[in-house]
Amino acid sequence: MKKKLVSLMLATVLAVSCFAGCGKAESGETAEAATEETTEETAEESVGAKITVDESATDNVAVEGDYSDADLTVFIFAQDHEKAVYQSLIDKFTETTGAKVTFEVTTSDEYGQKILAYKAAGDMPDIFYVGPEAVASNVDDGYILPLDDYVSEETVADLWPAITTAYRYDGKEAGTGSLYCLPKDLSTFAFAYNKTMFDEAGVAYPDPANPYTWEEFVEVCQSLTKDKDGDGEIDQWGCANALQWALDAFIYTNGGHFLNDDYTEVVIDGQKEFIDAFQYFADLTCKYGVTPTVEQDTALGGYQRWLDGQIGFYACGTWDVGAFMDKNTFPYEWGLCAWPVGSTGVSMTRNGSVGFAVSADTEYPDAAAALITLFSTDLEGQRVLSGETTGASLQVPNTMSYAKGDFKDRIADGTIPYGENAEVIFNYLEGTDKYKGIFVETTYTYNADWWNEFLSGGYEYVLNGEMTAAEYCAQVQPAMQAALDSANEMKAAASGQ
Amino acid sequence: MNSKKGKKTKTKMSIMAKREEKWGLLFVAAPAVGFLLFMLYPIIFAFLTSLTTWNGAKGFQGMLDRFCGFDNYIKLFTDAKFWQTLLTTTIYLLGIPIGMIIGLLCAMGMNRKIPGVRVLRTMYYIPVISSLVSVSILWAWVYNYDYGLLNTIIKTLTGLHGPNWLGDEALIKVSMIIFMVWKGLGTSIILYLAGLQNIPRSYYEAAMVDGANGWQKFRNITLPLLSPVTFYILVTTLIGGFQVFVEVQVMTPNGNGGIGYSAATIVFYLYQKAFESFQLGYASAIAVILAIIIFVITLFNFAGQKKWVKTID
C-alpha cells in the first residue's frame, strides 16, 4: 500500500514537473507598448495620487438600454487613480443596464505585450485601447469594429477635430472613412512651473500670452538654479527634461522635424533647425547647467525631483493634473505655461491620444458601444472623468461643447482643481497663433523603430557635452534610415494583402 | 537455431513484465508529452515563424500571408545591433571563469569542519534561489549613482564620488558581470564542495608521502578530479549566459538597454523586436541563430570533454 502511494506521488510529481520544464527564462516584467500615451505615462507610473472616488461622483450617470444578457470584458491600461474612476463608471453601467462587465487593467508598459497575447490566443477583450498609430493595422487585420452605426453624427462633430482624424480609416488612408475608435482622451504635454519656487527666488511668473524665447528661458532658469543648502552642490534647477518626451517640444518649435513629408526619409543630418534645437536642448544641461546632470538624472529622475520641489519648470500632461493638485503628492503651488519658442515663434508640443475600440468578434456590439460611449462622449461620464464631480481631473473632455463651456467655468470657479492658466491646455489642443500641439512623427510610421535607434545611439553624450548635436545626428542617421526603410517595407508588404 | 542466424526473435514476455512495461511507458509519457508540447512544438513554431514577417496578428493565416523565406536571416547579417548585442553577450561570458575560480576557492575554504560552515553555505546559496527580478531591482539601487550603497560607501571612505556604475558604457558591463557572478556563485560552490568531498583522501595522503606541496596537490589531484564538475558548470553556465535578459531589462533605466545600447544582450534585443516592435518573425530568426550558436558551442564542449575531463576511474 505504501509503495503504491509513493509511486502515485512520484507519478504526480513527474507529471507536474514536465510543465515546469520551461526552465530558466524568467520573463521580463516590463515591456514597452508602442502607443503614444503609454510612453508618456511610463515616466509617471511610479508615483500617482491616491484618489478615491466618492460614490456620489457618479450619481448623475445613467445609461439607457437593457443589456442584461451582455457579458463584456474591458481591458485597458491605467494608473491607480484613473482605475478608480473608470471602475465607478462601470459600476454605474452595470447598475443601470444590467450588463456584466469584467474590468482588467494593466500598466502601460505591459499593455502591448498583453494585447499581443490576446491576439495570438484569438480571444480579444470586447473593449480595448488602440492608439492612432495602430488603427490601420488593427483594421487591416480585422480586429476592430467600425463604429459609425453606434455614434451619432452630431456627437462626432462635437469631438476635437484631431481626434476624429486620428481614428478614421478607409482601408488605405488614415484620416478619412469609418470611425473605428471613440477617444479616451486627447491629451497634450504642456509645461508647468513651481510657483512656490518662483516666489522664493523672487522671479516673475511666466506669462502664457508671451512664451519665452530660448534666450529668455535660459535666463529665467539660471535665476532659479542654485545651491540652496550651501554644501557646494547645486540642488535646485531651472528645469529637467526627459529627452524621450520633451525633445519634440524644442525641435518642432524651431521648425525642425525628424522625417520628410511622406515619412520615407530621415532628415536630421545637416538640418540646421533640428541640430540647433537639439544642441540648445543639450546646452541646457552641459553649457548652462540649469538641469540635473546626466548622472544625477540616472540617480533620480526629473519627475521625482519635480515632485520633491527641486525643479522650476517641468512637463505636465493633461493626465498629470490630478496628481499635481494632490497636496500629498505635490505640495507646492503651480501653474501652466508655454514651452519656450524657437525660430518659428510658436510654442509647440506633442498631443497624444488613445481610443476605445470594440472587438470585431464581440458578441455584444450594442452593449460594448454603449459602454465606450459612456467612457468617451456621454456628458455625465465626461463630468466624472474631467474632475467636475470627483475633484481630480484625469483629462480634458472629449466633447468641445462641454470642454469649452462648463468645464472651463468649473475650473474658473474652483470646482475642478487645476493649475493656474488652464487656457494653455486649450491653446495646445486647438492651436492659436502662439500655440500648437501636434502628434509626433512616430504616429505616422509603421513602427517606432527609427525613433528607438535615435534613443539607443548614445544621445547622452550630447547632453553631457562630449559630442555635438551635429556629430550625433550624422552618426545615428544611417541606423535610423535603415530602420525606417525596414518599417516601410513591412508596411508595403502588409497592405499588399 | 534462429538466434545463430542473427535474426532477432521476439522474446515472449510474461504478463507481469508486460504490465510493468505499460506502467513504465506511462511514467515516461508525462515528461515526454511535456517535452513535445513545451519544447519541440515551440521550437518548430519559432523556426517556421522566422521564415515570415509575422506581427502576431491573424494566427496561422497571418503567418502564411507574410512568408518571406530566409529574408530575416539575410537582414540579420547586416544588422549592427545584432552584432553589438552578440559582442556584449560574449563579454558577459567572462563572468563564467571568474565565477568558477571564486567558487572553487570558496568551496575549498568551506571544505573544512569550521564552526558556522552550514550558515556560510546557506548564505552563499540564497542569491541563487532568490527571484532574479527582485535581486536585479535591489542591485539597481546598490549601483545608483547618488544614493546607491556602493557610492555611499566610497564617499564615506574616500570622500570621492563613486563612478557611474550603470551609466558608463564600459563600466555597466563590469557591473553586470559582478552581479551575475554574485548571483551564480552559490551553485558553483555547492557543486565544487560536493566534488571536493568525493575525492578520496588516500590520494592526498599518498601525495604527502611523496613530498608534494600544496600547489602540486592542487594541480595534480584536485583540479583533474574536479574536472567533471568544472565541465558541468561550464556547459550549463554557457547555455545560460547566452540567454541573459532580466538583468538588462530591470537595471537599465526604462529598460533601454543602457547608454548607447551598451548593456543589451541578444535576448534583450530579441525581446524588444518581438514585444515592442511586434516583429515576431525577425525575433524568431534571432532566436534560431542563438539556438544554433549555443548548440554548436555545447557540442564543441562535449567533444573536448574527452581531452580534459578525467574521472576517478
How far A16 CA sits from the closest chain B CA (Å)?
8
* pLDDT above 80 (res A215): yes
Please write the tens of the pLDDT for every residue from B113-157. 888 888 988 999 999 999 999 999 999 999 999 999 999 999 999
The pLDDT, as a whole number, for residue A17 is 56
**Residues of chain B found within 8 Å of residue A457, distances taken between Cβ atoms:** 260-261
Contact A257, A267 (CB under 8 A): yes
Q: What is the CATH classification number for the domain harbouring B132?
A: 1.10.3720.10
Residue with cell 459602454: A371
Domains A63-188+352-426 and A189-350+439-495 share a fold: yes
Domain ranges of chain A: 63-188+352-426, 189-350+439-495
Q: Based on the domain organization, do B170 and B258 belong to the same domain?
A: yes
Lowest mean pLDDT among A132-136, A257-261, B173-177: A132-136
Please write the tens of the pLDDT for every residue from A55-72. 778 888 878 888 889 999
Whole-number mean pLDDT of chain A? 87
Average pLDDT (B42-48) is 94
Q: Based on the domain organization, do B61 and B205 belong to the same domain?
A: no
**Residues of chain B found within 8 Å of residue A244, distances taken between Cβ atoms:** 254
- Cα distances (angstroms) measured from residue B251 to each of A29, A236, A437, B138, B263: 12, 27, 34, 9, 9
Q: Based on the domain organization, do B40 and B127 belong to the same domain?
A: no
Residue B2 lies in a domain: no
Last residue of a domain, which of B46, B73, B100? B73
Cβ A21–B243 below 8 Å, yes or no? no
Higher pLDDT, A447 or B105: B105
Cβ B66–A493 below 8 Å, yes or no? yes
Q: Based on the domain organization, do B270 and B139 belong to the same domain?
A: yes
A226 bridge partner residues: A236
The pLDDT, as a whole number, for residue A30 is 28
Last residue of a domain, which of B73, B98, B117? B73
Q: Would an 8 Å CB–CB cutoff place B242 in contact with chain A? A: no
Please write the tens of the pLDDT for every residue from A312-364. 999 999 988 888 998 999 999 999 999 999 999 999 999 999 999 999 999 99
ipTM of the complex: 0.83
**Residue B277, Cα to own-chain centre: how many angstroms?**
27
Q: Based on the domain organization, do B30 and B172 belong to the same domain?
A: no
With a CB cutoff of 8 Å and minimum separation 6, the contacts of A384 are A57, A58, A61, A85, A88, A89, A390
Please write the tens of the pLDDT for every residue from A227-240. 988 888 899 999 99
The pLDDT, as a whole number, for residue A56 is 78
Cβ A28–B249 below 8 Å, yes or no? yes
Q: Would an 8 Å CB–CB cutoff place B39 in contact with chain A? A: yes
Nearest chain B alpha carbon to A492? B66
The pLDDT, as a whole number, for residue A23 is 38
The pLDDT, as a whole number, for residue A342 is 94
Phi, psi of A194 (to 5 degrees): -90, 100
Q: Based on the domain organization, do B269 and B219 belong to the same domain?
A: yes
Q: Can you tell me the distance from the alpha carbon of A399 to that of A383, in angstroms, rounded to the nearest whole number?
A: 11
Average pLDDT (A289-309) is 94
Residue of B64, B96, B70, B63 lying closest to B289 (CA atoms): B70
Measured in residues, chain B has a length of 313
Nearest chain B alpha carbon to A446? B277
Residue A52's pLDDT band (cuts 50, 70, 90): low
Q: Based on the domain organization, do B237 and B137 belong to the same domain?
A: yes
Q: Based on the domain organization, do B87 and B57 belong to the same domain?
A: no
The pLDDT, as a whole number, for residue A20 is 46
Most confidently modeled of A18-22, A34-38, A407-411, B5-9? A407-411
Domain A63-188+352-426: CATH architecture, name and number where available: 3-Layer(aba) Sandwich (3.40)
Domain residues for B41? Answer: 14-73
* pLDDT above 90 (res A104): yes
Q: Based on the domain organization, do B69 and B184 belong to the same domain?
A: no
Average pLDDT (A30-42) is 35
With a CB cutoff of 8 Å and minimum separation 6, the contacts of A347 are A211, A249, A253, A338, A339, A340, A341, A428, A434, A435, A436
Q: Based on the domain organization, do B60 and B118 belong to the same domain?
A: no
Pick the CATH number of A189-350+439-495 from 3.40.190.10, 2.20.25.10, 3.40.50.300, 3.30.870.10: 3.40.190.10
Q: Can you tell me the distance from the alpha carbon of B172 to that of B91, in angstroms, rounded to the nearest whole number?
A: 11
The pLDDT, as a whole number, for residue A12 is 67
Q: Based on the domain organization, do B59 and B105 belong to the same domain?
A: no
CA atoms within 13 A on the CB side of B259: 21
Residue B174's pLDDT band (cuts 50, 70, 90): very high
Count of the separate structural domains present in chain B: 2
This prediction has a pTM of 0.85
